[in-house]
């Protein structure tokens, strides 16, 4: 008579241990999934910021923007053409 009671007690203890392990693992998975959601949101935010920065870079490096910025700084377009194929007077004199 004692054997079935002992067997039931052992099975009950094993079931309780499994249930505690299950609760622990579910809690860990939930916590990890919250971190994953936060990281995914952060990645999405950085992707949006990268898109904005790429468009700003493309705008600031466009030829029209560079030309207008150079004109604002006082640079003028040179009308004189310098050819590197014809010998220069400085190089010929040596």
3-state secondary structure 15-44: HHHHHHHHHHHHHHHHHHHHHHHHHHHHHH
Contacts for 52 with CB less than 8 Å, ≥ 6 apart:
none
Q: What is the pTM of this model?
A: 0.49
pLDDT tens digits for 21-60? 999 999 888 888 888 899 999 999 999 999 999 999 998 8
How much is the pLDDT for 92? Answer: 53
Q: 20 versus 67: which is more confidently predicted?
A: 20
């Amino acid at each position: 008579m004692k054997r079935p009671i002992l067997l039931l007690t052992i099975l009950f203890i094993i079931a309780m241990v499994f249930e505690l392990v299950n609760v622990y693992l579910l809690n860990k998975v939930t916590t990890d999934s919250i971190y994953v959601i936060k990281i995914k949101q952060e990645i999405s935010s950085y992707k949006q910021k990268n898109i904005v920065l790429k468009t700003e870079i493309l705008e600031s490096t466009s030829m029209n923007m560079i030309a207008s910025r150079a004109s604002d700084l006082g640079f003028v377009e040179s009308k004189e053409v310098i050819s590197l194929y014809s010998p220069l007077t400085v190089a010929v004199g040596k």
